[in-house]
Structure formats: structure tokens, C-alpha cells
Structure 1
Amino acid sequence: MAHRIDEVAAVIDKDYAGRDPLLVGVLNGAVMTMADLCRAMKIHCHMDWMAVSSYGAGTRSSGVVRILKDLTTDIEDRDVLIVEDIIDTGLTLSYLVQNLRTRNPRSLEIMAMFRKPEAISAPVDVKYIGYDIPNEFVVGFGLDYAGRYRNLTDVATLAEHVYK
């Protein structure tokens, strides 16, 4: 994954050359991606965090999005790059993008480490993607099931017997 993050970081460096982007990490899952991405970037950037939820302790999105922690940074007239761990249905991210657009950023783009194209039900325009993966419940590299397995260094499919 480190190689792919380096590749994505190089493209972001080029796209944001001469600018000072604000990376908005989506807690808790994006911690690993955000840390590795900002260390791989050569340009200066700022960081802030949001926590949103639509999962609870399940393996499927509830469809109800809640902001648990909001930004501490004013994003008006800022170049904002949302950093996500995974795009599943896209419902949470779609809500988040709509919310942040009301705050008048200069630009608003998305980087996701993982995307499940087969699961997407809400359109989201993702500019930077680490990997497209199958529509399976995965854990590791920040991805969790009920708060567990985030610390795995590899990404693995969660065995059904764990959650059934």
C-alpha cells in the first residue's frame, strides 16, 4: 500500500503545487491513510478532522449520517481535500460533500484509499483512488468492524462467522 500512497501523493503534489490544501480526514478509519498520505506529500498542507457515522456496529450502512465531530478550521476560500478510508455506498461521503460545499471552499476534492464500485448507490466524484476492491466487508489499515481490526497492517475480508 505504501507504493500506491506514494503514487497518489505525487499526483496530489502536482495538482496542488503552489497551493496550501487542507486535508480533512474522516475519523476514525482514515487515520492510517491520512498519516501515510501527508508524510508522502512534498507540498505543505494543513490537517483537520471530522467524524461522521452511518454504520454503528453493523456491516452495512444505516443510511442515516450523523456528524460526531466537526471541523475546527474555517474552510471558506480554502482548497479542501477530503481523505477517506473507504467508499462503500457513497451515502456518507455524499452527505459530507454537500455539507462542506455550504461552507464555500475554493475547491473540494476527495481521496479514498479504497472504493467498492459495485456497492455505490450515491454518486460521488472521487479524484484520487488508492484501490478499487470487491463488494466485501474488509478490515485492516484503519477499517474496522465494531471498533476492532483497525490496527491490522494488511486489508482482509471479514469472515462471515465473525458478524453472523
Structure 2
Amino acid sequence: MKVLVMKPQELHKLELLLPQDKIAKVIKKLGRQISEDYEDKDPILIGVLKGCVVFMADLVRSISVPIEMEFISASSYANGRTPEEKVDMSGGPEISIKGRHVLIVEGVVDSGRTVQTIIGQLRQKEPASIEIVTLLDKSKCRLVDIDIKYRGFDVGDDFVIGYGLDEAQKYRNLPFIGKVANE
């Protein structure tokens, strides 16, 4: 199924990759797994802005144990489709994570550099544990060795948008995930 999405001065072809109902089902499963694993552990979820927002909003409503939420801004994309070596990072948890169980929430993990940088920063604050939760894993694009404990879908190396993920800050509001067709 092809869906057409308007962009200023051009028309993009977008192939439906993951429909809304399939995403919702996987998020509920992830929420159950996290709830079981973190019962009585007082976890803190740290969302990586901006791509995590839609996913994290749905994920936290699927988690049945008490949690705290924080956000950090980090990206290896400079308005393009290919991750760069440099990771731009700002902000961080405003509350202490020392001795806490931390879950880093990402919309998509590709090269792994962004998550690796965040983990390095957070380890300095002495948390009890750090795990990664991502809706999408682009394992074929991995350039650094990272362990993802909770993953929704492996999506290969296609450029994807929707459900919080963008192209030049647009299309985050799409209720599904689409693959941008080669032009």
C-alpha cells in the first residue's frame, strides 16, 4: 500500500511499513515486559527527544509499575537521512539517578552512537542499571556494540518516518511508520 504525503514543493512517496494497530500491540507487549522486570525497582525512563515522544507517551501508559520520566535531547542527524559521527546532546535528568534503574527510551536506534554517548554520560551519575528501550532497531546500521534489551521491530536500513520520527522535523504526527521510497 502506498500513501502520498505532501511536503512543500514536492510529493514524497511513502510505503506503509508498520500500521498503527501493529505498533500498539508491540508497545503493550513491551510495557508488560518492563512492568514484570521492574516490579519494586522504581525505574526512571529517560526519553531521547524528539523522536521518542509519541512512542514514550504510549509506552508509559502500558507500564503498570510506578515510574518517573525525564528527557534528554540528543541526535546524530543534522537534518539529513544519514547519522553523523558527532552526537549533539543537551539537557539531562534533573533528578538524581544514582542507584536508580534507568531505561533509555528511543524511537529508533541505528548506528548506536547516540545511545552509546548517552550511556557514557549517565554512567557517570552511578545508576544501578541502564537498559535501552526502542520502538525501531536498525541493527544493519549498527556501528558500535550496544545491547538493546527491549525492542519493538527491526526495520533494516530504510529511512523511516512517522510515529514521532521525522524528516527535517516534519511527519512526526503520522499515526503509522512509513518507509520513504527511493527517489
TM band (smaller chain): over 0.9
Indicate yes or no: 2:149 matched with 1:127.
Answer: yes
Q: Distance in 2 between the 1:146 and 1:73 partners?
A: 31
Deviations 1:91-149 (A, max 9, x none): 11111111111110011111000001111111111100001112110000111011011
Over 3 Å off, 4+ runs: none
Q: Distance in 2 between the 1:102 and 1:8 partners?
A: 27
Matches within 5 A, 1:1-164: 1-161=23-183
User: How far apart are residue 62 of structure 1 and its match?
Assistant: 1.4
Percentage of matched positions with identical amino acids: 36
| Corresponding position of 2:6 | none
For these two proteins, the number of residue pairs brought into alignment is 161
User: How far apart are residue 69 of structure 1 and its match?
Assistant: 2.2
Q: Which runs of 5+ in 2 are unaligned?
A: 1-22
In angstroms, what is the RMSD of aligned CA positions? 1.0
User: How far apart are residue 18 of structure 1 and its match?
Assistant: 1.0
Q: Distance in 1 between the 2:123 and 2:148 partners?
A: 15
SS of 1:96's equivalent in the other structure is helix
SS of 2:33's equivalent in the other structure is helix
Q: Which has the larger radius of gyration?
A: 2
Deviations 1:51-84 (A, max 9, x none): 0121011101111012122221211111111110
More strand by share: 2
Q: Distance in 1 between the 2:122 and 2:145 partners?
A: 16
Q: Distance in 2 between the 1:156 and 1:82 partners?
A: 24
SS of 1:72's equivalent in the other structure is coil
Q: Which runs of 5+ in 1 are unaligned?
A: none
